[in-house]
Amino acid sequence: MKKFFLYIFISIILAGIFSPVFNVQADGANPSEPCRFNQGDNGNNPTTATNYPCEQYVLLSPFSTSLVNVDTAGPNALEKYLNLMIKIIIGLSAVLAMVMIFMGGIEYMTSEVISNKEHGKERIRNALFGLLLALGSYVLLNTINPDLLKTSLNIEGVTITIEDEVELAPTEIGFSSSPPSGVVNTCTAGVVSIGTSGGNFIVCNTIGGNLQAMIRDAWAQSPQIKISGFGLRTREGQIQRRRATCGVPVTNFTVYEKPADQCDPPTARPGNSRHESGLAVDLKCDGIFLPRTNPTSNPCFVWLRTNAERYGFYNLASEPWHWSIDGK
């Protein structure tokens, strides 16, 4: 019977403590309703809404003056909400600790049984320990660094630059004049020198036959289509180009890491050019590199655009003179 009255008394106490939370007072504005904007307003800024404040998480009754409404439509809304909940949870911990202390005191005073008295004392000790743990953790973290209590979810914007490792100006620097032996970069079939109507090309053995046939057929098509050019550029040749085009002082960064478009003229980093595997060629027409400006007026480019794919060569759109196995 005593326990029955004890539970009724505790329920009354709890109802008195939490009754303000369920007390809803109506007013002219409802901050939780959706924002409404005038015609022409893009709706990105909730403060321009005709019914502002709106779309906010609203406490039915604030626990303290430091707890305010959370603008769920504004920036970092989740972060603000979680920071608010930390304070609310600590406040609830204090309230629950007081309730447990009160219950332990009632149990200790209303029971004559030794075991029940000990149980009441243990409940009070546990409540005090929990309260000390919650408040102590907050005070300790706030003393070390107040930012530790902030659930910051700000993710800074990251700019991703996709660098197309291309050479934007034709040049003869760095091309190999004789084929090296063995595997060259990604060319596992070996590099060979092939003779064509337009001179010798140093290329990967896998494309040598097709390149030879393409240039032979081009020269046979018309006296105006005199295609020549270069193929393999060794890694040393690529490094040489980078040293010459990527600025001074020459360092490991300027040679190996500096973005291609920061060199003058832009030059691919070592290991990123199809030329280093002998899988690309830079072509000339009648001794002059195919032009960037109005390439369709050049008879060699027109012929290549129409026929090169039959031989397995594709053009890099930004470089009319550059033809490779995959257009890169």
Rounded to 5 degrees, φ, ψ at 150 are -105, 120
22 has a pLDDT exceeding 70: no
165 has a pLDDT exceeding 50: no
Give the separation between CA 214 and CA 231, rounded to whole angstroms: 14
- Of the three residues 119, 149, 179, the one that is the final residue of a domain is 149
Residue reference for tokens 């409540």? 127
Tell me, yes or no, whether 100 lies in a domain.
yes
Greater pLDDT, 183 or 210? 210
Tell me, yes or no, whether 168 lies in a domain.
no
Greater pLDDT, 62 or 285? 285
Q: How many residues does the chain have?
A: 328
DSSP strands (E only) in the chain: 56-57, 70-71, 191-196, 199-204, 227-230, 280-285, 288-289, 314-316, 319-324
Q: Are 263 and 256 in contact (CB under 8 A)?
A: no
pLDDT band per the 50, 70, 90 thresholds, residue 70: low
Report the CATH number at residue 249: 3.30.1380.10
> Domain range spanning residue 16?
2-149
Tell me, yes or no, whether 195 lies in a domain.
yes
Rounded to 5 degrees, φ, ψ at 191 are -105, 140
Lowest mean per-residue pLDDT among 15-24, 54-63, 224-233, 259-268 = 15-24
Strand partners, 57: 70
Which pLDDT score is estimated for 269? Answer: 84
- Of the three residues 92, 127, 149, the one that is the final residue of a domain is 149
> How many independent structural domains does the chain possess?
2
Which pLDDT score is estimated for 299? Answer: 92
Tell me, yes or no, whether 9 lies in a domain.
yes
Which pLDDT score is estimated for 10? Answer: 59
Q: Is the same domain home to 140 and 196?
A: no
Greater pLDDT, 166 or 321? 321
Q: Is the same domain home to 251 and 139?
A: no
Q: Is the same domain home to 127 and 233?
A: no
Cis status, amide bond into 53, omega within 30 of 0: yes
pLDDT tens by residue, 107-138 = 888 877 888 888 888 888 888 888 888 888 87
Q: Is the same domain home to 132 and 248?
A: no
Q: Is the same domain home to 245 and 132?
A: no
Q: Is the same domain home to 244 and 145?
A: no
Which pLDDT score is estimated for 170? Answer: 63
Could you give the count of Cα atoms lying within 13 Å of 304 in the half-sphere of its Cβ?
31
Residue reference for tokens 């329920």? 11
pLDDT band per the 50, 70, 90 thresholds, residue 24: very low
| Tokens read off for 211 | 């390149």
Q: Is the same domain home to 201 and 311?
A: yes
- Of the three residues 121, 149, 177, the one that is the final residue of a domain is 149
| Tokens read off for 201 | 């090309």
Mean pLDDT of the chain, nearest integer: 76
Tell me, yes or no, whether 249 lies in a domain.
yes
Which pLDDT score is estimated for 26? Answer: 38
pLDDT tens by residue, 85-111 = 777 888 888 888 888 888 888 888 887
Which pLDDT score is estimated for 112? Answer: 78
Rounded to 5 degrees, φ, ψ at 76 are 55, 35
Tell me, yes or no, whether 185 lies in a domain.
no
Taking alpha carbons only, the member of 244, 280, 282 closest to residue 264 is 244
Rounded to 5 degrees, φ, ψ at 314 are -130, 145
* pTM of the shown model: 0.47
Q: Is the same domain home to 236 and 320?
A: yes
pLDDT band per the 50, 70, 90 thresholds, residue 239: confident
Q: Are 236 and 252 in contact (CB under 8 A)?
A: no
6 has a pLDDT exceeding 60: no
Greater pLDDT, 71 or 140? 140
276 has a pLDDT exceeding 70: yes
Tell me, yes or no, whether 174 lies in a domain.
no
- DSSP 8-state secondary structure symbol assigned to residue 59: -
DSSP of 278-323? T-EEEEEETTEEPPSSSGGGSHHHHHHHHHGGGGT-EEETTEEEEE
Q: Percentage of the chain surpassing pLDDT 90?
A: 12
Tell me, yes or no, whether 284 lies in a domain.
yes
Q: Is the same domain home to 62 and 118?
A: yes
User: Strand, helix or coil at 227?
Assistant: strand
Q: Is the same domain home to 142 and 216?
A: no
Strand partners, 192: 203
Give the separation between CA 213 and CA 197, rounded to whole angstroms: 10
